[in-house]
Amino acid sequence: MATTDGIELDPALIVEDDTATQRRLARLLGGLAGGGVQAIDTAASIAGARARIALQVPRLALVDIGLPDGNGIELIGWLHAHHPQVTTVVISAWGDEEVVLAALQAGAIGYLLKEREDVELELALQNIRRGGAPIDPFVARRILTLLPAAQPAATANGDEHALSDRETEILNLVARGHSNREIAELTELSRFTIEDYTKKIYRKLAVGSRTAAVFAAKSRGLLR
């Protein structure tokens, strides 16, 4: 298995209907610095992915959006509901704002574009392994233009969805790309406590991933 101080990526599942792209992503995963992913499976459709997952649940799923039997967002939502421990990242040629937001809300923690050079995708995959949530810069820039001007954060008085000071602190550290382990060290709390705070933040913001939480927080003016 390939592990670091962040997220375990082994085994991995690539859900992509183009054979050449399957091979490219498998090569990049297998060649990651510090120990590439050893067990890499592929599927060309949503049905094929579910069949593979029934045999072995991956730790990482790279999912395309346009698949022969449906939208990859359907698979992302299904994974988030049935196998929330799977780190799911979109790898697509589509950068439409609505599609990106839908994927993040469904549970994807990152969104990468196939058009990027190998070195850029390698850096993004290493970032995932360190616990990061990479969004292609072009995609992120387009999404940020959709966010309304920041409004003052709601106070805790009478608002059950308002974040506490500690939750806001942790959310800011998440936005800076820190993993749960790093946040635990910075705040001198246990990793389990950080995970519990993170779940509460997701629930209050009505999101399903770290990246979606950051975007939601930016739109509400919750980040410093």
Q: For residue 159, what pLDDT is reported?
A: 57
Q: Cα–Cα distance between 116 and 210 in angstroms, integer?
A: 23
Amino acid making up residue 125: L
Amino acid making up residue 57: V
In which region does residue 110 sit, left (phi positive, over 0), alpha (psi from -120 to 50) or beta (all else)?
beta
Locate the domains of the chain by residue range.
12-144, 165-220
Question: What CATH number does the domain located at 165-220 have?
Answer: 1.10.10.10
Predicted model pTM:
0.69
- Check if 12-144 and 165-220 are the same fold: no
CB atoms within 10 A of CB 159: 11
In which region does residue 171 sit, left (phi positive, over 0), alpha (psi from -120 to 50) or beta (all else)?
alpha
- CATH class of the domain whose range is 12-144: alpha beta
Walk along the chain (224 residues) and give the pLDDT tens digit of each residue: 444 346 789 999 999 999 999 999 999 999 998 888 999 999 999 999 999 999 999 999 999 999 999 999 999 999 999 999 999 999 998 877 778 888 888 889 889 999 999 999 999 999 888 888 888 888 777 776 665 544 444 444 445 568 888 998 998 888 777 778 888 889 999 888 888 888 888 888 887 777 778 777 777 777 76
CB atoms within 10 A of CB 144: 13
Q: Cα–Cα distance between 170 and 174 in angstroms, integer?
A: 6
Biggest alpha carbon distance in the chain? 55
Q: Cα–Cα distance between 95 and 139 in angstroms, integer?
A: 6
Distances (CA, A) of 33 to 58, 115, 172, 180: 20, 21, 29, 22
Q: For residue 55, what pLDDT is reported?
A: 96
DSSP 152: P
Q: For residue 127, what pLDDT is reported?
A: 87
Strands 40-43 and 12-15: parallel
DSSP 153: P
Nearest to 201 by CA among 160, 157, 168: 168
Distances (CA, A) of 66 to 17, 63, 75, 201: 8, 9, 11, 31
